[in-house]
Structure 1
Amino acid sequence: MAIEFRELGPEYWDLFYSRLERAFSSPPDSVEERAQWRRVAEFDRITAGWDEGSLVATSGAFSFRMTVPGGSPLPVAGVTMVSVQSTHRRRGVLTAMMRRQLDDIRRRGESVAVLTASEPAIYGRFGYGVASRQLRGAVDTTRVRFAAPEGVDELRMRLVDAAGAVEACEAVYAGLVPRRPGMLARQPGWETQPLLPPTTPAASGGLLCVLAESGGELRGYARYWITPHWSAAGPESVVQVRDVEALDPVAYAALWRYLASIDLTAEVAFGNRPVDDPLLHLVSDVRRCGLNPRDGFHLRLVDVGAALQARSYTTPLDVVLDIDDPFCPWNTGRWRLSADGGSSGGADGSGTDGGGAVCERTTDPADLALGVRELGAAYLGDTSLHSLAGAALVRELRPGALAATARAFHSDQAPWLPHGF
């Protein structure tokens, strides 16, 4: 099949977007949502596949900066908008697009690619591993109490216009980005992404924003909407949380307590929180929170050496990794990873002066053998190398190497992607 892949021209945006919606069998997005994606689109990173004048395949990427263990911001490619029309499936179209895209990411000098998958089974064959998880939940606020740490009642809670407060909220978000692996620094245009209208058709009152303030200083915020519902027993409306962020534990607790105490509501629902969210310790009964963990983002090491060198490690490490990467063979082979523990490599993969991690080619005997998919899963510290070894996906070739490497890869906070792309 002679599919022609080429960079998307802006004049084809509406056609591109409609083909994407059709491939995902989804109803048309709102005018506001389509305009938002158009605003952040990087046309030099969007590919369209054409078959005799028909647009039959799509893929794209965003230029992000993602926090890695140690707090460094790493340039990454955010893979997005991948689709193949049903008429052209199982003909190698997706494989050809992935080949083209990963080659381009490598040329751009980005050592890591990330994506969120509509079908998790698809991307493993291209070297992506599940590198983070997220929690969905629905707290029964008629039966669950929220803890109130000392100082909660001293905070001022203030409802504001969400659009008018976006600059102040973004400052809070920016302060949190270095604290947790997987978080993305907002690029220009992305600050309006959280302001899109509620997706629930029955939303009442539109998107709301509450600020938690202390001494006139913003300490946190929550954006949410209400889905009204009344039963024979009375009001049972649902608070639908879009995001909750705070700079300190007291403000975080205050925001959740506020959300759980809104009049005429019986539930607080959320679609994306970290698996180690402090919320789990603020509620009186975790069983009544309807928690449902699922995969978050999938990660691929495009340049093994640069990526492993860019993050920090919790303990000193000297290990030789035998990496198998059939789709990006330049990564295949043995790599010596050395780290002094507790220091961070540079965001460009060069390491920091006076220490940090070094990852280089070697001919020395290997200590661990694993695929690039498994290495991607473990990269941010969410998936344990011990767990992967238990599934026969990592092989220990030198006694003690598995335990030492697993400890070094650990992250104090679970990686988390706060919003999709």
Structure 2
Amino acid sequence: MSSRGHDLPVRPVTTSEIPDWIRALNTGFLRTPTVDEAELADRTGYIDPSRTLAAFDDDRCVATFRSFPQELTAVGGTPVPADAITNVSVTATHRRRGLLTRMMDQDLAAAKERGDVVATLIAAEYRIYGRYGFGPATTATQWAIDVQRTGLDPRWSGPEDGGRIDLVDAADVRKLGPELHDRLRRGLPGAIDRDDRWWRVATGAVRPGRVPWHEPFYAVYRAPGGEVAGLAPYTCDDTWTDAKQPGDTATVRGLIATTPAAERALWQHVCSLDWVTRVKSGWRSPDDLLPHFLPDPRAATITSQADWLWVRVLDVVRAMEARSYEGEGTLVFEVTDAAGLAGGRYRLDASAHGASCAPTTESAELALDVRELASLWLGDASASRFAALGLVREERAGAARVADALLRTSRRPWCPDIF
């Protein structure tokens, strides 16, 4: 194996190189490096070689990188084209040689040229992607619910609002789920689109991974008028105490709902299952309504909370004009971008009726790096907090408060998916 680094070729893979690319990906993620036929057939079916990068050393793949087209919902519900980045790895023998930087630079330049507004990723490690202009833009939280402490009526048999809950099969989910999710994501900043393969994998029709498949139960909430307004897949273990008392845990796997009534009913359904004494929520929004659906919110304990979706702004003007604003005002801000993709000075004029953003020569009121702009763009982060941390600089006193009044949202953004 060569000891070269910065001169190794980085380029899109050919179809014949996909098996070696998968082996390198599995190696980088510390999975068994062998490539079985099922994994090869599945990945070959959806990988776009032109957007699948690799670094090679003596014809052996030693770094991997893939992107694909995505729609990300901006504040207010407008979908923007995004460059979704995934499958990033560098083999341990070839770290610290600039391979990731070269792959990232190549991909982001292509995304900018295509006209993508932002790039997105889910970061396995926190400290890697800030140097490429990405900032954490959403947070995800998991709860564990002690069912016996909730205060919910153990005799509950169904929604009181005239709706109903039905258990359906995977084939029904593949029919009902896409339209339900599309309605959800149109009103949820930070949400992304799901293609047909996503639903096939989520319901076991396609089984690409090496983890054994366990068929979930699928609970569907129908509003009084019959419209599907919520879906809760969940699995249950089989646990009994030494005193022959049931103690099952139900694990919810991606509950989605378009109304609070649907959400409340689905959580109550799961919490009312016979034998279930504990419910694990799966990843949820950090300001999810879940704890406060319970008479005793302390019955829901946060077990994990961390950054989730990371965003990298590629087109400041289109990003700022795509989103909506609850307040009204003007802000002149200076963006620093070491990669030269989105830097400059911009004037934002925003109101509830729309916004305009354009390059300007006016004096900047707020100065920030493109990674902090990404965190602020979806409405979750605070410019005032960033100023206190030294991450943004006020060129005019009070500019951070103006930014918060314009950019922050009443509900926190959330991305329900991992990719």
Q: Does TM, scored on the shorter chain, surpass 0.5?
A: yes
What letter is aligned with 1:407? A
Tell me: CA distance 1:272–1:315, structure 2 relative to 1, closer, same or farther (3 Å). Answer: same
- The match for 1:227 is 237
Sequence identity percentage? 34
Equivalent residue for 1:10? Answer: 15
The CA distance in 1 between the partners of 2:186 and 2:313, in whole Å, is: 21
Q: Kindly tell me: are residues 94 and 176 of structure 1, through their superposed partners in 2, closer, same or farther at Cα, counting changes over 3 Å?
A: same
Aligned to 1:206: 215
**8 Å contact kept, 1:70–1:342:** no
Q: Which runs of 5+ in 1 are unaligned?
A: 344-355
Write the letter of the residue equivalent to 1:84.
V
Amino acid at match of 1:163: A
Distance in 1 (alpha carbons) for counterparts of 2:23 and 2:132: 26
Asked whether 1:311 is paired with 2:319, we answer: no
Q: How far apart, in 2, do the equivalents of 1:262 and 1:199 lie?
A: 29
Alpha-carbon distance between aligned partners in 2 of 1:416 and 1:142, rounded to the nearest angstrom = 29
Q: Which amino acid aligns with 2:337?
A: D
Query: How much has 1:90 moved relative to structure 2?
Result: 0.7
User: 1:231, CA displacement in angstroms?
Assistant: 2.5
- Over 3 Å counting, the alpha-carbon distance change for 1:360 and 1:53 in structure 2 is same
Q: Contact between 2:333 and 2:347, CA under 8 Å: does it hold in 1?
A: yes
Runs of 5+ unmatched residues, structure 2 = none
How far residue 139 of structure 1 moved from its aligned partner, in angstroms, is: 0.8
Query: How has the CA–CA distance of structure 1 residues 16 and 394 changed in structure 2, closer, same or farther, with 3 Å as cutoff?
Result: same
**Pairing 1:286–2:294 present:** no
**Structure 2 match to 1:251:** 262
String of CA shifts for 1:272-316, please: whole Å, max 9, x gaps: 111121112112333332213211111111122222222122212
Question: 1:61/1:330 Cα in 2 relative to 1: closer, same or farther (>3 Å)?
Answer: closer
Question: 1:174 aligned to 2:172?
Answer: no
Contact 2:291 2:298 (8 Å CA) reproduced? no
Query: Could you tell me whether the CA contact under 8 Å between 2:54 and 2:64 is conserved in 1?
Result: yes
**1:158 counterpart (166, 173, 187):** 166
Cα displacement string for residues 65-119 of structure 1 (whole angstroms, at most 9, x for unaligned residues): 1110111010011110100000000111111111111111111110201110110
Which AA in structure 2 matches 1:301? Answer: V
Taking structure 2 as the reference length, what is the TM-score of the superposition? 0.90
Deviation at 1:124, TM superposition (A): 0.7
Change (3 A) 1:130 1:202: same
- Secondary structure at the aligned position of 2:356 is classed as strand
Q: How many residues align?
A: 406
Offset, 1:215: 4.6
Q: What's 1:350 paired with?
A: none
More off after superposition, 82-91 vs 214-223: 214-223
Q: 1:330 to 1:218 in 2, by over 3 A?
A: closer
Change (3 A) 1:216 1:100: same
- Which of 382, 389, 392 is residue 387 of structure 2 equivalent to? 389
Query: In 1, distance between residues paired with 2:308 and 2:294?
Result: 23
SS of corresponding position for 1:416: coil
Distance in 1, matches of 2:41 and 2:332, equals: 48
- Aligned pairs (5 A) from 1:13-92: 13-26=18-31, 37-92=43-98
Range moving further from structure 2, 68-77 or 236-245: 236-245
Distance change >3 Å, CA 237–CA 198, structure 1 → 2: farther
Residues 112, 341 of structure 2: 8 Å contact kept: no
Q: Within 2, Cα distance between the matches of 1:61 and 1:202?
A: 27
Letter matched to residue 78 of structure 2: S
1:302-344 Cα shifts (integer Å, max 9, x gaps): 1222222221222122111111111x224233111222x124x
Q: Which residue in the other structure is 2:370 paired with?
A: 372
Question: Paired residue for 1:239?
Answer: 250
Residue in 2 aligned with 1:121?
127
With the length of structure 1 as denominator, give the TM-score of the two structures. 0.89
| Alignment counterpart, residue 407 of structure 1, candidates 401, 405, 408 | 405
